[in-house]
Structure 1
Amino acid sequence: MNPFWTTVLLKQINRGKSAKDTKQKSSSVSDYRLGKAYREMKVVAKGNVKDFTLILFGIFSAAFGFKGFLLTNHFIDGGATGIALLTSAVSGYPLYLLIILVNLPFIIMGYKIMGKRFTVKTVLAIIGLAIILALVEFPNVTNDNLLVAVFGGFFLGAGIGFSIRGGAVIDGTEILAIYMSRKFGTTIGDIIIIINVIIFLSAAYLLGIDIALYSMITYLAASRTLDFIVEGLDEYIGVTIVSNHSEDIRKMIITKLGRGVTIYKGKRGMTNQGEDQEVDIVYTVITRLEINKLNLEVEKIEPSAFIVMHTIKDTKGGMIKKKAFK
């Protein structure tokens, strides 16, 4: 290994030790520990490059949505970006300044809730977006209200989604929703809906009913695009199967679906004999396109098998193919 990197890794391994201990133990550090430290450093560096690339894509996409579609037509979105757009449309203050001011309280809140790393990325993302909005000119793509609402929302939602993929946000509403859900015990979705209802009612009063209605289309387009970017094309389904033929089902899932399987040891809660009966519980993860095939194959093996399915936001590793940008 290059002597420079060896020195760096030794410092990483011995961080927190006294200088004397470091000097004595540096020579005895095994190749395994050096290799492990190098691998960890490589993973962190690769992750940072990927994250900041995604954030950069997000910044330019959101800026294009703002200046190419929404700003010239005074359409707004939900959340913090909607507040900034609405304030800009009413007051005439530049959007790049309002983006920072509106998100500032959420950044402070994010530091307390999400930690330093998230906050640093978010600050860089929001400042980067403000700089792009201030310095880069984008053409006004169209004046058709419906196209503006749909595609403005699309590019804005894509920008927010890419930023989230990179570990940051350019819209701080979800941070507020997380904080309030923890404080008051409500769901995050309910809080976001309440915030957006207030924003769109304000838009209807200040900008007119037509703009408010088109802005709701913008919000729907942005939210659907955001979901697509964050969650990916495939929707994963976790499947739990309780059956007396668990071994046959396990083999079927591996051979016919090509999916990994986890086996849990469990007991039936209700039996005709009135006593506990041990059973192997099969768990696997499939895509929604494979649900029909799985049900058909399980029915061939045991029609009375008990099957529970639930949606999974994301997966990593195992025999599930990787999602885009993950």
Structure 2
Amino acid sequence: MNFKNNLEAFFENFQVFIGILLASIGLKAFLLPNGFLDGGVTGIALLVKTQVDINISYLLVLFSIPFLVLGFFTVSKRIVVKSIISILGLAIFIHFENFQTITDDKLLISIFGGLLVGAGIGIAIRNGSVLDGSEILGIYLNDKFGISIGKIVLVFNVILFSITAFVISTEIALYSILTYIIAAKVTDTVIEGFEDFIGVTIVSKKHDLIKIAIIEELGVGLTVYKGSSGFGSNGTAEDFDIIHSVVNRIDIKKMYRIIQKIDVEAFIIEFDVNNVKGGVLRHYLNKKKNTKFLNLQNSVANKE
């Protein structure tokens, strides 16, 4: 068990290292050499750097301190410790890396700089760390209000870039906003996963037939809740099954067709699912060997 835990910890920290590497490449190879402002604490540090002659790495660490203090009182101490190490690591990478400028095209700088920085931020957060102190504010507000971290960081940066437009250049501020629109989307995608799942709750008088059809035609798993009573357009319903399932977004239209073919009056609730682990999601349910499914089929056949 200790070996497994150590192995998981190693891969977790290794992924944080990859996140640091990607973010630092995005900064040093795209954004910083071309005069683009980074967002978050790095953006504040760059903005101050234009007014005072202090190394950007020192400013990055200095301006991260207030957010790390916030993290100490609001989020896990483990996150804060890992974040301190990650921020120091990013500062060291920025200080010593010497990448050549890859392109002078401002649109390409915005796109690929945003992709790399967003991927780095997302990988770090997914593994319990942050690369920018402002992301701790994002994690805190995400826990409190459920707002996505990418959107919080984006709003933070929009305010920062608005100030930049007055202090440095409107054009740089606008391109930097474009960079972080991309970075915010990539951050959310990395954190929440690339697959898009949809949760579906179904209430129908023909619940047995719907269960069989979903398993046969989609091959996904089901969770069944026992409903005791309810009231709808058709009056009072008693003793019915409530079907709950999770499908890939690609299959959601097929799910609706299956249900509507059996019961056009079925009540369906659809909701987004950010992450799924375990269960039957990818058509590997073996219907021939599944005794519960076979018993359900026989039970419905006997009723008819």
Within 2, Cα distance between the matches of 1:90 and 1:313? 42
Q: Is the contact made by 1:76 and 1:218 (CA closer than 8 Å) also made in structure 2?
A: no
Deviation larger for 90-99 or 219-228: 90-99
Mapping of 1:293-308 within 5 angstroms? 293-308=254-269
- Select 2:203's aligned residue among 229, 234, 242: 242
Q: 2:204 and 2:172 mapped to 1: Cα distance?
A: 56
Q: What do you get for the CA RMSD once the two structures are aligned? A: 2.4
Residue 277 of structure 1 is aligned with which of 235, 238, 242? Answer: 238
Q: Which of 170, 181, 185 is residue 209 of structure 1 equivalent to?
A: 170
Please give the per-residue CA displacement for 1:223-258, whole angstroms capped at 9, x wherever unaligned. 121122222221111111111122222222222212
- Give the AA of the match of 1:256: E
Structure 1 distance, partners of 2:275, 2:142, is 22
The normalised TM-score by structure 1 is 0.78
Q: Give the aligned partner of residue 94 of structure 1.
A: 55
What does residue range 16-55 of structure 1 map to in structure 2 within 5 Å?
Answer: 38=1, 41-55=2-16
- For structure 2, the residue ranges without an aligned partner over 5 or more in a row are 283-304
- Distance in 2 (CA, whole Å) between partners of 1:241 and 1:299 is 11
Percent identical: 38
What SS is found at the alignment partner of 1:241? Answer: strand
Work out whether residues 76 and 82 of structure 1, in 8 Å CA contact, stay in contact via their aligned partners in 2.
yes
* Aligned counterpart for 2:37 among listed residues 53, 66, 76: 76
Gaps of 5+ in 1: 1-37, 322-326
The 2-side partners of 1:157 and 1:181 are apart by 17
For 2:132 and 2:49, locate their aligned partners in 1 and report how far apart those are by CA, in whole Å. Answer: 16
Verify the 8 A CA contact 2:23 2:121 in the aligned structure 1.
yes
Aligned to 1:132: 93
Residues 267 and 135 of structure 1: is their aligned pair in 2 closer, same or farther, counting only changes over 3 Å? same
Summarize the Cα distance change of 1:85–1:311 in structure 2 as closer, same or farther, 3 Å threshold: farther
Render the CA deviation track for 1:34-90: whole Å, top value 9, x for unaligned: xxxx3xx34422321221111011001000011101111221243333323333344
Q: CA deviation at 1:98?
A: 2.2
Output the CA distance in 2 between the equivalents of 1:237 and 1:105.
Answer: 38
Residue in structure 2 matched with residue 33 of structure 1 by the alignment: none
Q: What's 1:292 paired with?
A: 253
Secondary structure in 2 matching 1:237: strand
Q: Is the 8 A contact 2:21 2:120 kept in 1?
A: yes
Aligned-pair CA distance for 1:263? 0.5
Query: Structure 2: how far apart are the matches of 1:142 and 1:169?
Result: 28
Select which of 96, 99, 103 maps to 1:142: 103
The two structures have a TM-score, normalised by structure 2, of 0.84
Q: Which residue of 1 aligns with 2:295?
A: none
The number of equivalent residue pairs is: 281
Deviation >4 Å, runs of 4+: 177-183, 185-194, 271-276
Q: How far 1:317 moved relative to its partner?
A: 1.4
Q: State the 1:179 CA deviation.
A: 4.3
Give the conservation status (yes or no) of the 8 Å contact 1:80–1:102. yes
Taking the aligned partners of 2:252 and 2:148, their CA distance within structure 1 comes to 29
Match for residue 254 of structure 1 among 186, 208, 215: 215
Mapped contact 1:265–1:278 kept (Cα < 8 A)? yes
